[in-house]
Amino acid sequence: MDYNPKWAGGSNDPTCTSCQRPITSDQRSKRIDFTNDPHGYRGLSGLYHVECSKPFDSLANAINMMSLGHF
Ligand SMILES: [Zn+2]
């Protein structure tokens, strides 16, 4: 698994890419991959809270479709 390596600081919880808060084990999370950010360097690809992921989910779909040459 390649989560963002931001979770130094004593906690093993991964950090939400959107709100930068830890995603605790009782919170639902969602991994979103952007084809223009395969390694998360732009701060797009990564793990999100499900609630935080929604706007990024549709954004990722749009970007991923564009990069597949459907336009
Ligand atoms: Zn979040």
Task: Report pLDDT digits (tens) over 5-52.
Answer: 554 556 689 999 999 999 999 999 999 999 999 999 999 999 999 999
Centre of ligand 1 from the C-alpha of residue 39, in Å: 19
pLDDT of residue 2: 57
Taking the C-alpha atoms of 16, 22, 54 and 27 in order, what is their torsion angle to the nearest 10 degrees? 140
Centre of ligand 1 from the C-alpha of residue 16, in Å: 5
Centre of ligand 1 from the C-alpha of residue 31, in Å: 12
Taking the C-alpha atoms of 52, 57, 59 and 64 in order, what is their torsion angle to the nearest 10 degrees? 150
- What residue type is assigned to position 59 of the chain? L
CB 50 within 8 A of CB 44: no
pLDDT of residue 58: 94
Q: What is the pTM of this model?
A: 0.74
Centre of ligand 1 from the C-alpha of residue 62, in Å: 21
Q: Mean pLDDT for the chain?
A: 86
